[in-house]
Structure 1
Amino acid sequence: MSETRDPRPRRRRLLRAVVGLLVLLAVIGYFAVQRDSNGGGGAPFCVAGADPVGEDETSATYEMSPEQAANAATIAAVGIAKGLPDRAVTIALATAMQESALRNLDHGDRDSLGLFQQRPSMGWGTPEQITDPVYSAGIFYDHLVDVPGYSRLPLTVAAQKVQRSGFPQAYAKHEPDATVLTAAFAGGGTVNCGGPAPTGPGDPQRVRADLVRIFGEDGPHTFAAQGGGQAGRSVGGGQGTPEAEVTLVEKRDGGEAATRRSRAMAHWAVANSKELGISRVSYDRHGWIGGRDRGRWQDRGGAKTEDGKGDPYGAGPGEVRIFLAR
């Protein structure tokens, strides 16, 4: 009696594997097309990287949703507003990446909540406070700076001294990505966010209030007169929608602290563009327009406004210009 097996089941398995692979490639291709369609007006996404304009595709990057980008931007901005070094920002970001995947959770182990899974019962604050990203990031940093020599400790050790986690080594795997995010928000990198341009309405008073809440009113920046400059102009990325403007200007002799804050403000605005109706952002020699250029920052001189009256990336020296759809 022959023991040769029927080859048909193996062929069917191979066929199913091939079909599954083709389906997967089709899905990947679909999302790639969605991302690049209309100059970046497809599915929303954000990418952080160390490259100043985001053109170097060989540099390390970290991709995230707009929600995650907004939370990461807030965590970084709070640390920068406190004048803390990049190492503190990296520790905070890696901790939130492990605890919540950069999502502001309304649940967790026992009574843990928020980005850092802080517990009201352990004295971290009320549930309302803990689920406020500005508060939760701020109190994390307050505890971190109380750790002697935290900036010289291994990240897992520093984070564990604040969090008292049951899995302290889990923070380590997030350090490389947290370092990329820190370079993007606090250093010389960039945050690119693609997806549909906001059609409005954005609230300049809310943007201004959020910036004041994070960075304070007594820092190395002042607000320009509301509605000045190019306010009311429209850009192609905003689908012809008029804009309102919030502009911050570095004070004279603000130094590197002011420059660092300016970068953080500009990238915070891009990361929060979907939520806040921000249509474009200009800082230094670069600018970002929602729904255009695949969500990348562009050099000054790279585009014109729809009415042809000038460069939408034209922030002056020391200025951060944030435009909102109306």
Structure 2
Amino acid sequence: MVVAVVLAVLALLVTLIVVLARSDIAARPRCTITAPPDSPGLPATWTLSTEQADSAATIVGVGRRLGVPDRAVTVALATAIQESGLANLRGGDRDSLGLFQQRPSQGWGSEEEILDPVYSTTAFYTALLRVPGWAGMDVTVAAQTVQRSGFPEAYADHEPEARLMAVSLLGQAPASWTCTDLPAAPPADPSGGAVAELAAAELGTRRLSGAQPAEEGWAIATWLVAHAERLALESVTYDGRTWTVTSGAWEQAGPADGRLALRRIGQP
């Protein structure tokens, strides 16, 4: 009888631990990308941590500022997924650092420069575009030509999710990027300067409101949502659809008008 009671209690404890663990995972901040209908070769959905989302937004934003082809954006994302898991690592193999695991000893820049995601991303694109015929290469070949990795075939494993991220962040799949369970905390810089400064550094523009062409508007709106945790955004609106930190989803909020707007948490 005692043994049966002990076993029952243990079973209950295990169940509670599993339920609590699953609840904790479900409540963690995360971002999800949904592929457009009829998108062969793309995963139907892909989920990232907010750190990964932030890094992806930087990689695509810098690519747009530099005016690189969409193919280069996919190559850059696939490379960063393989090299760092889209994390700005402060270490790695030998003296490798940052999103792309670039090495100061190989001429990529100083440690401080490489740990600046905008700098390291710009350096990657610059090196890629110097490769003759890179645009006609497979993703893994183009990435390996720049990176000289010990595992050259691994880049190809990440092409599908890289393409999905690129399609969404380039504005080619409206309302496809959502972020949920973000902290609803006021920004450290309530003046709004942090938003404009980040946009200038990554996108090359401070204009984040008003009328925007469709693809441009969705690219900026998606970039904002991907950076929402860092920028403490309460809402992003484009073309009548609004993402909010509360719902974590895009919802129809007004007529389709091609206008972009954002609101920070605690903003009057």
Q: TM-score, normalised by structure 2?
A: 0.83
Percent sequence identity is 41
Q: Secondary structure at the match of 2:71?
A: helix
**Contact 2:43–2:160 under 8 Å retained in 1:** no
CA change 1:145–1:23 in 2 (3 A) is farther
1:158 maps to 2:111 = no
Structure 2 distance, partners of 1:166, 1:29, is: 37
Residue in 2 that maps onto 1:261? 216
How far off is 1:75 after superposition? 0.5
Identify which of 259, 264, 268 aligns with 1:324: 264
Say which is worse superposed, 189-198 or 69-78, in terms of deviation: 189-198
Q: Please, which runs of 5 or more residues in structure 2 have no aligned partner?
A: 1-10
Q: Please, which runs of 5 or more residues in structure 1 have no aligned partner?
A: 1-17, 36-41, 53-57, 224-245, 251-257, 302-313
CA change 1:89–1:24 in 2 (3 A) is farther
**Contact 1:100–1:115 under 8 Å retained in 2:** yes
Q: Deviations over 1:218-259 (max 9, x none)?
A: xxxx73xxxxxxxxxxxxxxxxxxxxxx52543xxxxxxx54
Residue in 1 that maps onto 2:19? 26
How far off is 1:198 after superposition? 2.1
1:183 maps to 2:183 = no
Structure 2 distance, partners of 1:70, 1:170, is: 23
Identify which of 237, 247, 256 aligns with 1:282: 237
CA change 1:149–1:285 in 2 (3 A) is farther
Q: Deviations over 1:180-203 (max 9, x none)?
A: 111221121521100145230354
How far off is 1:97 after superposition? 0.2
How far off is 1:148 after superposition? 2.0
How far off is 1:122 after superposition? 1.0
Structure 2 distance, partners of 1:59, 1:97, is: 15
Q: Which runs of 4+ in 1 moved over 4 A?
A: 21-25
Structure 2 distance, partners of 1:290, 1:51, is: 23
Q: Deviations over 1:25-49 (max 9, x none)?
A: 63674247xx4xxxxxx32111112
Residue in 2 that maps onto 1:64? 48
**2:53 partner letter:** A
**1:247 partner letter:** S
Residue in 2 that maps onto 1:119? 103
CA change 1:59–1:297 in 2 (3 A) is farther
1:247 maps to 2:196 = no
1:148 maps to 2:132 = yes
Q: Secondary structure at the match of 2:88?
A: coil
Q: Secondary structure at the match of 1:165?
A: coil
**2:147 partner letter:** Q
Residue in 1 that maps onto 2:8? none
Structure 2 distance, partners of 1:192, 1:73, is: 13
Structure 2 distance, partners of 1:278, 1:123, is: 37
Residue in 1 that maps onto 2:179? 193
Residue in 2 that maps onto 1:47? 32
CA change 1:96–1:24 in 2 (3 A) is farther
How far off is 1:275 after superposition? 1.5
Q: Secondary structure at the match of 2:161?
A: helix
**Contact 2:30–2:182 under 8 Å retained in 1:** no
Q: TM-score, normalised by structure 1?
A: 0.69
**2:265 partner letter:** A
Structure 1 distance, partners of 2:16, 2:132, is: 53
**Contact 2:81–2:158 under 8 Å retained in 1:** yes
Q: Secondary structure at the match of 2:75?
A: helix
Structure 2 distance, partners of 1:89, 1:72, is: 10
Structure 2 distance, partners of 1:121, 1:145, is: 22
Residue in 2 that maps onto 1:273? 228
CA change 1:325–1:95 in 2 (3 A) is same
Greater gyration radius: 1
Q: Secondary structure at the match of 2:264?
A: strand
**Contact 1:286–1:299 under 8 Å retained in 2:** yes
Q: Secondary structure at the match of 1:147?
A: coil
**2:73 partner letter:** V
Structure 1 distance, partners of 2:141, 2:43, is: 28
Structure 2 distance, partners of 1:129, 1:192, is: 31
CA change 1:22–1:85 in 2 (3 A) is farther
